[in-house]
């Protein structure tokens, strides 16, 4: 998942990094193919180099040391609204068929709801970045046909030009990286299986998805991490706090 996420970052891009696995993906990208990428953190930190040691929250001291800028939250959100952010990484409780994200509430099968932390900056990133990538455990209840609540917009109901009709002139999901596969989106905005991770079959991916997901014509195994990618992962998260 980390290697796949790192490959989504192109050299020179401004990227909303976030925490957990995307944090490590940013490190991998910087140390392999995207040395000029710039990382943004929701608390206002801007970095052109990874933090000198592993961080556990975005406000940890190593993330401040050597930062290019330490702004207020409004400063980095302004970069979104002005169209300067190429890519944002997002987590979610649910991701649906059209790449919509839910981090607000989940409806119980027998009635009632489980309330979750909510959007934070996720809706801003999903709405205003040029593209976003979601990362999630690949389980049927995490990948329903429709989310219980649309916290952050993907491709809506899959109708033509849905985002533009909602006043969102750019952006949308480019990939969903799961524990089993990498999903991408067709011209209708519907997810399909692009690659399946090694040791995980196509049948397993389909069986653990909450709708009859399409399989891409050129579906193939996800490329395994290279030696350089593994070195970057293990060198930064050497105790496996995020990647064990």
pLDDT at 111: 83
CA torsion 164-102-134-66 (nearest 10°) is: 100
193-207: per-residue pLDDT in tens? 999 999 999 999 999
Question: What is the number of alpha carbons within 13 Å of residue 25 lying toward its C-beta?
Answer: 26
Mean pLDDT is lowest, of 43-57, 105-119, 131-145, 206-220, for 105-119
Mean pLDDT, rounded, for 80-94: 95
Distance between CA 188 and CA 197 in Å, rounded? 25
Residue 211: predicted pLDDT = 96
Q: Give the per-residue pLDDT at 164.
A: 93
Residue 243 lies in a domain: no
SS3 243: coil
- How many folded domains does the chain comprise? 1
CB 62 within 8 A of CB 51: yes
The pLDDT, as a whole number, for residue 35 is 97
pLDDT score of 193 = 98
148 lies in a domain? Answer: yes
What is the average per-residue pLDDT within 215-229?
A: 96
Q: What's the confidence (pLDDT) of residue 239?
A: 93
199 and 106 Cβ atoms separated by less than 8 Å: no
| Structure-block tokens of residue 141 | 């209840």
The CA distance from 214 to 84, in Å, is 33
- Give the 3-state secondary structure of residue 39: strand
- 13 within a domain of the structure (yes/no): yes
Neighbours of 116 (CB within 10 A): 17
Question: Rounded to an integer, what is the distance from CA 211 to the centroid of its chain?
Answer: 21
pLDDT of residue 136: 96
State yes or no: pLDDT of 61 exceeds 90.
yes
- Domain assignment present for 192: yes
242, part of any domain: no
> Would residue 241 count as lying in a domain?
no
Task: Quickly state the pLDDT bin for 68 (edges 50, 70, 90).
Answer: very high
Whether residue 169 is predicted with pLDDT greater than 90 in this model: the reply is: no
Range of the domain at 217: 2-236
Q: How far apart are CA 17 and CA 91, in angstroms?
A: 11
How many residues in total does the chain contain?
244
Residue 44 has pLDDT above 90, yes or no: yes
Q: Strand 38-40 to strand 45-47: parallel, antiparallel, or no bridges (unpaired)? A: antiparallel
- pLDDT of residue 152 exceeding 90, the answer is yes
From residue 224, alpha-carbon distances to 3, 30, 241 in Å are: 8, 18, 21
CATH of the domain at 174: 3.40.1080.10
Residue 64 C-alpha from the chain's centroid: 23
**Which tens digits make up the pLDDT trace of 99-113?**
999 999 998 888 888
Tell whether 186 is covered by a domain.
Answer: yes
Q: Is residue 208 part of a domain?
A: yes
**What is the average per-residue pLDDT within 151-178?**
94
């Amino acid at each position: 998942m980390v290697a796949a996420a790192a490959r989504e970052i192109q050299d020179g891009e401004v990227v909303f990094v976030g925490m957990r696995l995307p944090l490590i993906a940013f490190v991998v990208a910087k140390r392999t193919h995207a040395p000029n990428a710039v990382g943004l953190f929701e608390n206002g930190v801007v970095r052109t180099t990874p933090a000198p040691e592993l961080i556990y929250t975005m406000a940890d001291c190593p993330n401040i040391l050597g930062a290019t800028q330490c702004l207020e939250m409004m400063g980095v959100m302004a970069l979104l609204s002005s169209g300067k952010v190429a890519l944002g990484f997002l987590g979610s409780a649910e991701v649906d068929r059209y790449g919509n994200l839910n981090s607000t509430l989940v409806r119980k099968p027998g009635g009632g709801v489980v309330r979750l932390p909510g959007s934070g900056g996720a809706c801003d990133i999903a709405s205003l970045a040029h593209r976003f990538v979601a990362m999630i455990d690949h389980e049927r209840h995490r990948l329903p046909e429709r989310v219980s609540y649309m916290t952050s917009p993907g491709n809506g109901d899959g109708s033509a030009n849905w985002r533009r009709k909602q006043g969102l002139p750019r952006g949308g999901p480019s990939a969903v990286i799961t524990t089993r596969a990498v999903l991408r989106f067709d011209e209708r905005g519907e997810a399909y299986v692009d690659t399946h991770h090694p040791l995980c079959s196509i049948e397993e991916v389909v069986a653990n998805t909450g709708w009859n997901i399409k399989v891409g014509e050129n579906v193939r195994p996800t490329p395994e991490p290279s030696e350089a990618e593994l070195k970057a992962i293990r060198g930064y998260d050497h105790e496996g706090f995020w990647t064990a």
